[in-house]
Chains A and B, each alone.
Chain A
Amino acid sequence: MNFPLLLLFGFAVLLMLLLAWVLRDPRKLPQPDVDLGYAEDLDRRHVTYFPQVRQAMAAEDSAFLASRASQALTRRVQRERRKIALVYLSCLRGDFLKLWRLARVLASMAPQVGAAQELERLQLALAFSWRYEMIRMKFLLGFAPVPELGSLSEVVSRLSIRLETTMKDIGERAALAAKLTSSLDGRGLDTP
């Protein structure tokens, strides 16, 4: 089999694999509607605990501990901090996925979708996934030093507050749009 034929063969096999992947398990597909209220609650919950987390993760606390406590305890704290860094990372990912899904729902409902916007979002998602996996692997394998979580928590905190505002805003707009749509649909028939 020469190279072009091999290429065609490989392409056909790839198509079959893609077909199997695309058609599998439809029940696990995410539902198109996003529970905005729940998303808001989650954000609010994250934000509530940020001051405590920030204090616990402050660099000064680490330095103080290292000067006073035993090495075993310091190591244990480092491990814990590593775990917390991973949790932060997954929170960041959760925020990203939530927004990403919301954008897809918005696009699926829109009468006209901008290809450039969608492509940009796909690129962002790919870049995010790649970076996320790289950082996560480095944390998991212990190749990376534990970051200054004090400053990091501040970053995430500010971000989450802004996200919360955005989500609330989007939720309100979506609710308004739904209300407008239903009132236009019903033409006032549903009113007593």
Chain B
Amino acid sequence: MGSFPPYVRVLWACSALLQLIALILLFAKGGFRKLPFFTVYVALNLCQVAFLVCVYSIWGSDSPRGTTLAWCSECVTLLAQALATTEILKVTLRPYQGIWGLVWRALAFTSTFVVLIVALTTRGAWVSAGWFELNRGYHLTFAAAVIACLLLFRYYSVQVPAAYKMILGGFCLYSCTEILIHTVMQSLAKKAFYAYEPIWQSAPTVSFIVVLFIWVAALWKPLPIEAPEAAPPSDSIYQRLSPEINERLRELNEKLLRLWRLEARPQ
């Protein structure tokens, strides 16, 4: 731990403090009952700080063993992050069963697509920077999938409570900044990595601190009470009316096309 400059240690302390506040808020306001996975995620992050302090104190931040252990702990928190996000999406979409069916398909499709892109763009880099690429690939997939879900929410006018939106937005913001930092650092690493090492050490922590501020603001008030689930209308209504509406929309499209042709006709 001594190998890190003082400002990095200060940033870590700030981050730990904010995580502690978020955890206390989750328990004090009863949020842990509504979002158990998110609570576990925050708790795991806090544990990770303590774990990394121990690891870096014993083996140092440059030793292969220390690095491997640090990345392994990161894998655990990233898994918890994915579970926490899915939990929030599910809670939000509880009254919208049909949309949830679409969302998980969108999640699967987007994730597969992004994983393929990542695999293609990082060919040959696995030997030298496996953990690094895995981490960036994960964040890329995660951010794309969550944003695809948020787009679907917007498309179907699904009302997402502000607190959940802030938590999801925070996750995405962190993932996007991680991708940017990783990408910029990767290009700099080829020239003079050590000159930019302070940025590498502090930038992700700073972005995480910003996200933690957003989460603390979101958790400050008790999480919204779930609306009682109304009995959905019969499935046959959608099955019958949806093709009918599509047919009408197609007709309107044809009218527009006809207008185009009329407009092209000389007077």
Give residues in A with beta carbon < 8 Å to B: 1-2, 4-5, 7-9, 11-13, 15-16, 18-19, 22-23, 26, 29-32, 62, 85, 88-89, 92, 95-96, 99-100, 102-115, 117-118, 120-121, 124-125, 127-128, 131-132, 134-135, 138-139, 144-148, 151-152, 155-156, 159, 162-163, 166, 170, 173-174, 177-178, 180-181, 184-185
Contact = CB atoms under 8 A, between A and B. Distances in A.
Nearest to A4: B121
B249 A147 contact: no
B187 A145 contact: no
Across chains A and B, which 4 residue pairs bring their CB atoms closest together, nearest first? A110-B238, A113-B98, A4-B121, A147-B262
A115 B238 CA distance: 12
A95 B251 CA distance: 11
28 contacts: A5-B187, A12-B176, A16-B176, A19-B147, A23-B169, A26-B162, A85-B263, A92-B256, A96-B249, A99-B252, A103-B249, A108-B157, A110-B242, A111-B97, A111-B232, A112-B235, A114-B238, A115-B105, A124-B249, A144-B264, A145-B267, A148-B265, A166-B244, A174-B237, A178-B233, A180-B233, A184-B231, A185-B230
Interface string B134-160: 001000100110010011011111111
Query: Is chain A's interface secondary structure helix, strand, loop, or mixed overall?
Result: helix
A22 B154 contact: yes
Contacts of A26: 160, 162, 165
Interface in B244-267: 244-246, 248-253, 255-260, 262-267
Contacts of A32: 157-159
Given A102-B245, A110-B235, A131 B253 contact: yes
Nearest to A19: B172
Contact of A147 (B136, B147, B251, B265): B265
Given A19-B173, A96-B252, A113-B101, 4 more contacts: A12-B180, A108-B99, A109-B232, A159-B251
B19 to A, nearest CB: 22
B244 to A, nearest CB: 7
A177 B233 contact: yes
A132 B187 CA distance: 44
Nearest to A134: B260
Contact of A145 (B165, B234, B241, B265): B265
Contacts, number: 219
A185 to B, nearest CB: 6
Contacts of A92: 252, 255-256, 259
Contacts of B156: 104, 107-108
Interface string B119-140: 0011000000000000010001
B172 A31 contact: no
Contacts of A147: 259, 262-263, 265
Query: Is chain B's interface secondary structure helix, strand, loop, or mixed overall?
Result: helix
Contacts of B150: 19, 22-23
A128 B249 contact: yes
A95 B258 contact: no
Contacts of A118: 102
B2 to A, nearest CB: 33
A173 to B, nearest CB: 6
B97 A144 contact: no
B68 interface: no
Contact of B235 (A103, A104, A111, A180): A111
B186 interface: yes
A95 B254 CA distance: 13
B249 A108 contact: no
Contacts of B155: 104
Contacts of B245: 99, 102-103, 106, 121, 166, 170
A16 B153 CA distance: 17
Given A8-B179, A26-B165, A32-B157, A135 B249 contact: no
B63 interface: no
